[in-house]
Chain A
Amino acid sequence: MRTFSIIGKRIPKPDAIPKATGQIIYGHDVKVPRMLYGKILRSPLPHARILHIDTSRAERLPGVKAVITAKDLPPRRFGYGRDRTPLKGDKVRRCGDEVAAVAAIDEDIAEEALELIRVEYDPLPAVFDPQAALQPGAPLIHEDRQSNLFRHQEYVHGEPDRALEEADVIVEDEFDLGYVQPAPLETSFCLAAFDASGKLTIWSTTQIPFLLQKDLSEALGIPGRDIRVIQTAIGGSFGRGLDMYSFEPICVWLARKAGRPVRLAFTRQEEFAVSEARQSMRIWARAGAMRDGRLWVRDAKVLLDNGAYVSWGTVTTLVLMETIGSLYRVPHARVVYDSVYTNNPITGAVRGFGNPQGTFVVEVQMDRLAEAIGMDPLEFRLRNANRPFEETPQGIKITTCGLTECLEEAARRIGWSEKRAAPARHGVIARGVGIAATMNVGGGARIYRSDGCGCIVKVDDFGRVTVLTGATEIGQGSDVVVVQIVAEELGIRPEEITIVNDDTAVTPWDVGVHASRTTFIAGNAALRAARQVKAQILETAEELLGASAAELELRDGYVRIRETPEQRIPFDKVVRARHFRQGGQVIIGHGWYDPHNEMLGPDGKGNISATYGFGAQAVEVEVDVETGKVRPLRVVSAHDVGRAINPMYVEGQIEGGTVMGLGYALSEHLQVHEGRVLNLTPFDYRMPTIMDAPPIETVIIETDDPEGPFGAKGVGEMGTNPTAAAVANAIYNAIGVRINSLPITPEKVLRALRERSS
């Protein structure tokens, strides 16, 4: 057994104190001299031709410093589908499409200016149903495309058609999964400023600082080398910052036109109305099993509504495909999907990235299959659970895998056997328990050509270590993870480390924070950089202590001889000895880590991650059969995280993810009517409050991943993935009805109960 001095400790994040005292600087707090306030005029219509825009009265309003429309911008497209311009010139394709923008000396004047802009629209027929959008003759959202189909893809392994005939039992369901918003507490923000030489600095809440350079450059024609991205402290993100939105290039262009810095921040209403939601999906799924308990086949057809433009979010189908094809051993599987344009709100990345949807389908049907063959659902899962070091037919090379332990632990702690045996019923209140598992990429995900991250570690004369990492801190604790890894390797205290993670001009490159990749990838990069520093320190210490590097260790701020630890020199003294000498050298280490994972082939196969995380959640719920209200009483969430570098924040990821999953299951729903979002406040959207959050017991299962930094795997999204399925299964256990549409509102529960009794 390895023993650690820093790894595994519950150490607070370096930014925790400034956050507790109000000293931290979020985007919304940043002010620079001569800063203007930007605002965007948006389309009230879901689909319309723009006939004319008159900005003359806005331009004349005192205090207005810039007004722009599509005509002012270079005619360039951006985005995953290259299907949008920052401002729309010919037509609008969704409510909220950007039509004009202003910058003024204060927010009031900017708002007044928006009111003075006249836009003449010619409304076009719109389409809001993805199925209708695929019919011949449907209004075309993008006229340069043949149809509203963005992408059709099929994934197959085994022989699903034959398997469907062979299976002893088949279950079939239709799932309807609504929109949810990432809805971090801080709204979207950017601040753009040009210096006298024409170089751009942008302060941003992005998750992809280095790719944002590229995206901005693509949208505006500004060379990427002239763009510097500074990340402010970020008030949550959950996938929101994975794509560049139109407001960012708009803000930049306002700054260019006005010749002054411009700040643009969304109102909460804007955030709900126009920022990217989790894709709504309709899924038709069949699954089959053998009476002896073998899962035999899965077959799913997915219709994904992108909305008016596609983002990286459309790639969520790849994740969904993996969940359907590889969560549990399944010899035959097929996923067919269509991702479609409509005049609905745009969609994008949200924590889980297709996995919550896929897991809902898989895990609801696992329960149904178990019932059909008369087996306990837990046993059925254990029987078919993925095992360590096996390759799935999809080409996923599982290494460490604690799925069995997670299922067993979650079930045991929720009181599975007793409670399943006799679901409690007191008057109108029924109780039930449900379980669901998850598999998530835990060692990066090769979505882009690179999955890499860089790190630099340097040491000053006083032993203060500075770590420059490409990793983005969005609250999850990437900073403390990197600090703990470096501290462990160098035998120093975490307080002696300064972490810098917010400036593309300073930090080494990274593809961004997504796919639960940061602990694994940035952690490995940091470990490599720290090892170089350690080697340099040991090399110098060899001379000073007269022992070979192999005999030395770094511990408690000293370099010492392992066998005779009283022979030691302080860490900082070694550093100075290396600096202050004839022919001295600087102590600096750099690390780059890009895992040996693969991009998926056109057939959807390949080992997309260097390792995978597993987990299981058991939920106990209470259902009021008179009101239809579902109350989660308790959640046990067990996760194989490889090794918890900092258990406190591993728990934090799981607890926060679980409550987000509960929101998805029971309350959160972006209500969209004819392309317009109706619920624009956290209250109307029904974001979970402290009253909605049940006690959550987190169980950390450590499997010591051979590739992970000190054995760690990623964890960020795992808590969210299985929750909705576990809740739906618990509801079934309590009242015997299945609800396949999210969120499971009281109305749906009552309707299902009525239908069953009639």
Chain B
Amino acid sequence: MKYPLTLKVNGETYRLEVKPHRSLLEVLRDELDLTGTNDGCRTGNCGACTVLLDGAPIPSCLMLALDAEGHEITTIEALSAGGELHPLQRAFVQRGAIQCGYCTPGMILSAYALLRENPHPTEAEVRRALVGNLCRCTGYVKIIEAVLAAAEEMASAEVGSR
């Protein structure tokens, strides 16, 4: 038995029919082909599936797709939608914060949410914001560097545009 679902993802509205037990992660990946959201555990433990729900990072594997109706979902694909990398993406690329990359979309989205709330985070605040995102490859060192560098870059761009 499938139920109708209206899902708003990255500013677009999709009308779907989904089984009630489908997670948001599965629907994003399987129905909408938004495969930038990765599947690492399906138990809310790894953060590879992180998306933004009304701007706040959540593990999409733990949310039923039907419960996402009425909310705005943002996935990694939205960040470079204009064809240009977001400063966070650029910093991750340029500072070696990406190895296998499986954690990267989730990391970037968690960091994106952090910088919106707190444009000048300390290292400790970056760590706290990314605690739900596991990375098995990098040892986190370059990820922290990248987030701090992106924060700085975004802050100076802000000043410049004023």
Contacts and interface: CB of A to CB of B under 8 A. Distances in A.
Interface of A: 10, 12-13, 15-17, 19-26, 28-29, 108, 183-187, 233-238, 267-268, 474-477, 648-649, 651-652, 654-660, 681-683, 687, 689-691, 693, 695-696, 719
B104 A19 contact: yes
Contacts of B139: 652, 654-660, 693, 696, 719
A235 B77 CA distance: 18
Q: A15, A233, A689: which has the most chain B beta carbons within 10 Å? A: A689
B38 to A, nearest CB: 7
Contacts of B95: 648
A683 B45 contact: yes
Contacts of B73: none
Contacts of A233: 100-101
Given A13-B98, A16-B92, A682-B46, A656 B137 contact: yes
Nearest to A697: B141
A682 B134 contact: yes
Contacts of A659: 139-140
Nearest to B109: A22
Contact of A22 (B34, B90, B142): B34
B136 A183 contact: yes
Given A20-B85, A21-B85, A475 B43 contact: no
Contacts of A475: 99-101, 137
B103 interface: yes
Contact of B136 (A13, A185, A719): A185
B99 A652 contact: yes
30 contacts: A17-B93, A21-B76, A21-B85, A22-B105, A28-B38, A28-B39, A29-B29, A183-B136, A184-B100, A185-B135, A185-B136, A187-B40, A235-B101, A236-B102, A237-B100, A475-B101, A652-B99, A652-B139, A654-B139, A655-B138, A655-B141, A657-B139, A658-B139, A681-B45, A690-B131, A690-B133, A690-B135, A693-B139, A696-B141, A719-B139
A734 to B, nearest CB: 23
A185 B102 contact: yes
Interface string B82-122: 00010001101111101111111100100000000000000
Contacts of B85: 17, 20-21
B36 interface: yes
Interface residues of B, number: 53
Nearest to B138: A656
A23 B138 contact: no
A413 B93 CA distance: 29
Contact of A26 (B19, B38, B131, B138): B38
Nearest to B142: A652
Nearest to B141: A655
A22 B60 CA distance: 15
A185 B93 contact: no
Given A21-B89, A696-B141, A268 B42 contact: yes
Given A20-B89, A268-B40, 13 more contacts: A21-B79, A23-B36, A108-B19, A184-B100, A185-B38, A187-B40, A233-B100, A652-B137, A654-B139, A683-B45, A689-B131, A690-B143, A693-B139
A24 to B, nearest CB: 6
Contact of A687 (B34, B35, B100, B134): B134
Contacts of A719: 139
A234 B100 contact: yes
Interface of A is mostly: loop
A20 B98 contact: yes
Contacts, number: 170
Interface in B114-162: 127-128, 130-131, 133-144
Contacts of A693: 139-141
B105 A682 contact: no
B40 A186 contact: yes
Q: B43, B85, B139: which has the most chain A beta carbons within 10 Å? A: B139
Interface in B12-38: 19, 29, 34-38
Contacts of B79: 21
A131 B23 CA distance: 46
Given A652-B138, A657-B139, A693-B141, A12 B93 contact: yes
A758 B84 CA distance: 65
Contacts of A477: 99
Contact of A681 (B43, B90, B99): B43
B9 interface: no
Nearest to A695: B141
A238 B92 contact: no
Contacts of A234: 100
Contact of B40 (A185, A660, A683, A696): A185
Nearest to A662: B139
Contact of A185 (B37, B46, B143): B46
A351 to B, nearest CB: 10
A690 B104 CA distance: 14
A696 B142 CA distance: 10
A698 to B, nearest CB: 8
A19 B142 contact: no
Nearest to B103: A185
Contacts of A22: 34-37, 75-77, 105
Nearest to B19: A108
A99 B55 CA distance: 46
Q: B39, B75, B96: which has the most chain A beta carbons within 10 Å? A: B96
B7 interface: no
Nearest to B79: A21
Contact of B96 (A236, A651, A660, A687): A651
Contacts of A19: 98, 100-101, 104
B134 A689 contact: yes
B150 to A, nearest CB: 11
B134 A236 contact: no
B131 A691 contact: yes
A658 B136 CA distance: 11
A183 to B, nearest CB: 6
